Chains A and B, each alone.
Chain A
């Protein structure tokens, strides 16, 4: 087997991050978990330990509080003896209705998904570059590909994030930083609970496997689950007058 990765994972307590933590620990990678609740982080640590390598530790890190980012990454670096991979699955969703009703909520979603995720990535990529590079994998969304009626604001937050990640990739790939933008389609997790699932909705386990493969292959962009790549190719190609008419 290859030497295990040393990975910082922000967002492992639920959904696709939880699924990723299982796949990575099962193949022997070393994990350090970041999240908002210690009791919850300890449960994910235990969950990984049953069927894989036990994550070496965890620390608090809240995307609503950028003052904690440096310390959290520092703790991870210490525990892992220098990390080589950073993964961010953490993110926030609310329906367009709720976001239109509540500007404070809208500000939070924009801040968590865009501003503060970018700030977190800036800390992470500097640490990675300082030791010659590594992998930075961040979950954006297909929602950032086109302005669409049901996801105007959430989509904008992910569009901004995707744009930033693409820029990083262009600027730093030659220096050894491999930035992967993950663009999931609809996946059954707590985030999408209660929403009407489209056909081709996927499971977090399938996304996790695809993403691990893409990280290892050094890809820049990956769509998951599979059918979303061609679907988004079509949606990107639709003229504006069509997008204005359709409801998705």
Chain B
């Protein structure tokens, strides 16, 4: 195919000129590649090529499992293996990934590079904490083995390093043994943000998985009302003996026009979602897909945001006065008119060891924002508040943050730069995001 006009984008569908070339053989294909890309589920520009390169290496065809030790649960997988494949192949055997993001369409490479977190962050930390070893191709062309004991500086810079330290070829990590393939879930309708934050903390004491959604359009006393969901893998005696059947696939066949998502329709959605949860408290068994991946039910739902695309703003605010800081963020959102379709709030456990890993002890807020002329201003204002609150943003979602804001939020950046410079002094490996945020050459 003639690639001169092709456009590549992240999940938010804001593209740059470029394309990916997929290969089964990452060892060969990574030799000259400027960047690796998994399934493109990062929202912003972290998996996009810098302007002068155009082509990134697509890893998704490198999807073989290379070995599994039933004693330790350690799985050895090529970097392009997706969580979806692991769920399909290994949940019937009683194993689940130790940490999963809210979509199963992410690769092992993407899970490590973003050091993804899930609903169990308060007990399990990020994905990187479960990784025992990786093989990488680094900028010099060398293939190296990295682990917490071997080339540890490179290992911890790669965990959360957004692909900038080298190409991950394969990953070894510990799968989690689960008692049944069903989830026991409880959920609550919560009237406002303060109650919500308290309920999250309560839920975290009892359940391994917690997350919630809030309606960020309601103001005043209803501000931050929402639904909190908590769950655990069901014990064998709580669960049906049959394996859950696959759920039907729906897909969004074409993009909606830009006007389809407007403050009114978003408000209606949020209103509906809140009152759909009629009983104040619900409990019962649910399908693991419904629990972990509600958004995956509609393939290509990102087309809903129309041709201009959207961005997700995700920040974490440190423990302390979270009620006030969370309110400040939501205030900015309603003041700047940034209607958000989805607003997900989750408490985080301790910060991991990945040098640039996103979560820290505190509370994470994620907002989906349709892009329009005011988006840059909105993100700038949000970032100023987050800076004042000593929080930080998640690179896997970002496409609008300014380099000076990022540098100010990230005292850890200096250490990351040192390790990166040691392994790749000329920054051969880089991305559209690193050009924008870290000042790499285009």
The chain A residues found within 8 Å of chain B, CB to CB, are 13-14, 18, 22, 26, 43-44, 46-47, 50-51, 189-190, 193-196
Contact = CB atoms under 8 A, between A and B. Distances in A.
Interface in B15-62: 21-24, 61
Given A50-B75, A195-B1, A196-B1, A44 B64 contact: yes
Given A46-B67, A194-B1, A189 B61 contact: yes
A72 B24 CA distance: 25
B22 A50 contact: no
Given A46-B67, A50-B89, A193-B61, 16 more contacts: A13-B24, A14-B61, A22-B89, A26-B89, A43-B64, A46-B65, A50-B65, A50-B68, A50-B75, A51-B65, A51-B89, A190-B22, A190-B61, A193-B21, A193-B22, A194-B1
A93 to B, nearest CB: 14
Contact of A43 (B23, B66, B90): B66
Interface of B: 1, 3, 21-24, 61, 64-68, 75, 89-90, 93
A22 B64 CA distance: 10
Contacts of B22: 190, 193
B1 A47 contact: no
A14 B24 CA distance: 8
A16 B420 CA distance: 39
What is the interface of chain A mostly: helix, strand, loop, or mixed?
helix
Contacts of A194: 1, 3, 21
B64 A46 contact: yes
Contacts of B23: 190, 193
Which of B3, B21, B23, B67 has the most CB atoms of chain A within a 10 A radius of its CB? B67
Nearest to B65: A50
A117 to B, nearest CB: 21
A71 B67 CA distance: 29
Contacts of B64: 18, 43-44, 46-47
12 contacts: A26-B89, A46-B65, A47-B66, A50-B65, A51-B65, A51-B89, A51-B90, A51-B93, A189-B61, A190-B22, A190-B24, A190-B61
B154 to A, nearest CB: 25
Contacts of A190: 22-24, 61
Contacts of B93: 51
A50 B61 contact: no
Contacts of A22: 89
Given A189-B61, A190-B61, A193-B61, A50 B67 contact: yes
Given A194-B21, A195-B1, A46 B89 contact: no
Contacts of A13: 24
7 nearest A-B residue pairs (beta carbon): A47-B64, A50-B65, A50-B68, A51-B89, A193-B22, A47-B65, A194-B1
A193 B29 CA distance: 14
Nearest to A52: B89
B18 to A, nearest CB: 13
A176 B90 CA distance: 37
A18 B89 CA distance: 14
A137 to B, nearest CB: 22
A22 B92 CA distance: 14
Contacts of B65: 46-47, 50-51
Contacts of A193: 21-23, 61
Nearest to B81: A47
Nearest to A14: B24
A14 B78 CA distance: 14
Contacts of A50: 65, 67-68, 75, 89-90
A46 B66 contact: yes
B65 to A, nearest CB: 4
Contacts of A14: 24, 61
Nearest to A43: B64
Contacts of A26: 89
Contacts of B75: 50
A49 B309 CA distance: 42
A22 B75 CA distance: 17
A189 B61 CA distance: 7
B111 to A, nearest CB: 18
Nearest to A37: B25
Nearest to A95: B1
Contacts of A44: 64
A185 to B, nearest CB: 18
